[in-house]
Amino acid sequence: MENELITAPDKHNDEITIDELVLKITSLLTDITAPDLKEFKNLAENPDFEKLYTYICDLRKLSYAIQRGELGIFVKSKGFVLSNLKSLQSNLRHLTWQTQRIAEGDFSQKVDFLGDFSEAFNKMTVRLDESNTKLMTLANTDALTHIPNRLSLQHYLEKIFRSRHDVYLFMMDLDHFKQINDTYGHVVGDGVLVHVSEVLQEQLRNTDFIARYGGEEFVAILLNTDHETAGKIAERILSAVRVPFTI
């Protein structure tokens, strides 16, 4: 039987060198796949190093989650860098909520925690609010007479019906309007409609509502009015509209 060479185990095989440690930590901070804690050999059983390893792993996890927009990811570790990331994560969650509010029409949302982005965001909300106001005005205003249109009338009726107000509603139609258009042309006809809308606004009170229903039809709604007063206002409107005028 041949003699076997027996060697004593090298007690340093389980210890990590400084160069290896630097490479492993660099890999832990920069590579897509993180080295396992066991690869740090004897340091894996060191409580302080295990804490450092966990901190860096949490840093990787949270930064990757924020980069992907996964704002519901939480980590237990604490510290300066992670505190900054957690603050950013919290701000982004709040910003997401604010964006949802803006999508629902709340343009009062303001951001004050993201530097230059905050200024750009706030300018955007102001311009959206202005544009939305203009669009709402255009959508609810008659282009010719500049008084509320049928859509605006519908919204107003829905509002007062919900509030259960007693109201008087006048439906007004200009007699023989087609003859005006046929005889004098649509430009003159438009002038008549503008004049009548101005007369109606002059005769109605500030609390009353006037709208162009369509064509030569107008609607007036009177709130907080008794029967006698409503009748007087109706007679006053008829008298004013019948007064001769020049286009």
Catalytic residue list:
216
| Apex 39 CA angle, 33 and 41, nearest 5 | 160
**Cβ proximity of 36 and 14 under 8 Å:** no
CA dist., res. 176 & res. 216, Å (int): 10
